[in-house]
Amino acid sequence: MWFMRQAGRYMAEYRKIRETRTLIEICKTPEIATEVTLQPLKFGFDAAILFADILLPLEPMGASFEFAKGEGPVIHEPIVSRAQIDRLRVIDPEESLPYVLSTIKLLKRELEVPLIGFAGAPFTLASYLIEGGKSANFAKTKRLMFGAPDAWAALMTTLSEVVRRYLRAQVAAGADAIQVFDSWVGDLAPADYAEFVHPYVHRILADVQTTGVPVIHFGVGTSTLLESMRDAGGTVIGVDFCTPLDEAWKRIGYDRGVQGNMDPCALLATRDVAIRHAQRALDAAGNRPGHIFNLGHGITPETPVDNVKAVVEHVHQASAR
Ligand code: CP3
One of 46, 53, 192, 207 is an active-site residue; which one?
A: 53
* Cα 5 to ligand 1 centroid, rounded to whole Å: 7
One of 9, 82, 271, 280 is an active-site residue; which one?
A: 9
pLDDT of residue 70: 80
* Cα 298 to ligand 1 centroid, rounded to whole Å: 8
For all residues of the chain together, what is the average pLDDT? 97
With a 6 A CB cut-off, is 181 part of the ligand 1 pocket?
Answer: yes
pLDDT of residue 69: 84
With a 6 A CB cut-off, is 9 part of the ligand 1 pocket?
Answer: yes
Closest to 238 (Cα-Cα) out of 284, 274, 292: 292
**What is the pTM assigned to this prediction?**
0.97
As beta bridge partners, residue 74 has 66
Q: How far apart are CA 285 and CA 252, in angstroms?
A: 13
Q: Tens digit of pLDDT for each residue in 92-144?
A: 999 999 999 999 999 999 999 999 999 999 999 999 999 999 999 999 999 99
Closest to 285 (Cα-Cα) out of 244, 228, 240, 226: 244
Kindly tell me if the per-residue pLDDT of 61 is higher than 80: yes
* 5 a catalytic residue: yes
* 9 a catalytic residue: yes
Q: Tens digit of pLDDT for each residue in 182-219?
A: 999 999 999 999 999 999 999 999 999 999 999 999 99
Q: How many CB atoms lie within 10 A of CB 202?
A: 14
Q: Tens digit of pLDDT for each residue in 3-29?
A: 999 999 999 999 999 999 999 999 999
Q: How far apart are CA 292 and CA 310, in angstroms?
A: 17
Q: Exposure pattern of 24-58 as b/e (b: 16+ CB <10 Å)?
A: eebbbbbebbbbbbbbbbebebebbbbbbbbbbbb
Q: Which of 54, 220, 239, 303 to mutate to test the pocket of ligand 1 (most atoms within 8 A of CB)?
A: 54
The protein residue with its alpha carbon nearest to ligand 1, atom 40, reads 53
Ligand 1 atom having least distance to the Cα of 3:
1
* 200 a catalytic residue: no
Query: Which amino acid is residue 109, in one-letter code?
Result: R
Q: Are 221 and 189 in contact (CB under 8 A)?
A: no
Ligand 1 atom having least distance to the Cα of 6:
3
Kindly tell me if the per-residue pLDDT of 71 is higher than 90: no
The protein residue with its alpha carbon nearest to ligand 1, atom 1, reads 5
